[in-house]
Amino acid sequence: MATVSYPASVPREGHVFPAFALIGWRWISRNPASTVAPILLPFIFLYFLFLISPGLFPLEVIGAMLFTTQNIGSWVLGDSATWRIECALQDLFVASPMGKVRYLFGIAVSNLIAAAPALVVLAVVLSFAVGHPVPWTSWAILFGALVVVWVLFSAIGVAMSSRLTSQREIWPVGNLTFTVLGMLSPLYYPLSYLPPLWQQAALFFPTTYAAILAQGAFGLAPASTGSMTIDAVLLLVLAVLGTAVALSLYRWRGA
């Protein structure tokens, strides 16, 4: 293998945040509906859930935060597929020092910007809905769980997008994947509400542990330090495995 000798003017690595933060910010500043939808949709469902089961409202708010974060994966899928299939823009980034992991983070960051207002509003609602003082450690646990879910589902979204061949596949594939994944985990209610078989199946999903952790941290479900530690470890392990699988399936270069 020849050693690399680059001209001085050629950067060896790309930058994620300066580029994709601008891309994400410009999207929401020029398309206000792109922020309204992420804010409005969780509240529409929250309202519905509040009507049919008012006693679980704080838990449902945490569920909405987790689902909104997880749904970033769906937007990542949409953006990534559109930029590749419709605009051939991914080619510009492949043929550059950016690299696929940076590109994934870039799209994930640009869509996090769109989701951030919704998450902030939901966090404010949660602080009122909980009804008792919540230590900063609980917020830190929730934040950590959201970050893990964001990374995992963004990786899933971009991996799936790399296998799509048509724009028309974006909406149904995204809808199927992320809605089903969201439903398999008990985001909006305690795990114990599910039938036993479903409970067992839900334990294979990282978002189940994210939900259990957050519910426990806010005192909305019984949890001990020990059980929360186990849940955190399981969340991390499953998320790392899931992300690794997604990255390996992510087709950066055409086959």
User: Which parts of 107-166 interact with another protein (CB under 8 A)?
Assistant: none
Nearest approach in angstroms of CB 194 to another protein is 7
**Spatial contact of 73 and 154, defined as CB atoms under 8 Å apart:** yes
Measure CA of the first residue to CA of the last residue in the chain; give whole Å. 23
Residue in 4, 128, 137, 225 binding another protein, rule: CB under 8 A:
4
241 touches another protein by CB under 8 A: no
Count of C-beta atoms within a 10 Å radius of residue 149: 29
For another protein, the closer CB: 186 or 242: 186
Count of C-beta atoms within a 10 Å radius of residue 33: 9
Nearest approach in angstroms of CB 198 to another protein is 9
Nearest approach in angstroms of CB 28 to another protein is 9
Site for another protein in 178-217 (CB under 8 A): 179-180, 182-183, 188-189, 193-194
84-91 contacts, C-beta under 8 A, 24 or more apart? 84/161, 84/162, 85/164, 85/165, 85/166, 85/167, 86/167
Residue in 99, 117, 144, 219 binding another protein, rule: CB under 8 A:
99
For another protein, the closer CB: 114 or 141: 114
Options 32-40, 211-219, 225-233, 241-249: segment touching another protein (CB under 8 A): 32-40
Burial zone of 180 (CB within 10 Å; 0-12 exposed, 13-18 middle, 19+ buried): exposed
Nearest approach in angstroms of CB 224 to another protein is 26
34 touches another protein by CB under 8 A: yes
With tokens 């939808």, the residue in question is: 37
36 touches another protein by CB under 8 A: yes
For another protein, the closer CB: 39 or 146: 39
CA dist 11 → 17, 21, 113, 219 (Å)? 16, 20, 27, 50
Residue in 57, 61, 65, 91 binding another protein, rule: CB under 8 A:
91
Task: Count residues near another protein (CB under 8 A).
Answer: 75
CA dist 194 → 151, 198, 206, 230, 247 (Å)? 27, 6, 17, 21, 32
For another protein, the closer CB: 6 or 136: 6
Options 1-9, 142-150, 213-221, 231-239: segment touching another protein (CB under 8 A): 1-9
Please tell me the total number of residues recorded for the chain in this structure.
255
For another protein, the closer CB: 30 or 132: 30
Count of C-beta atoms within a 10 Å radius of residue 102: 18
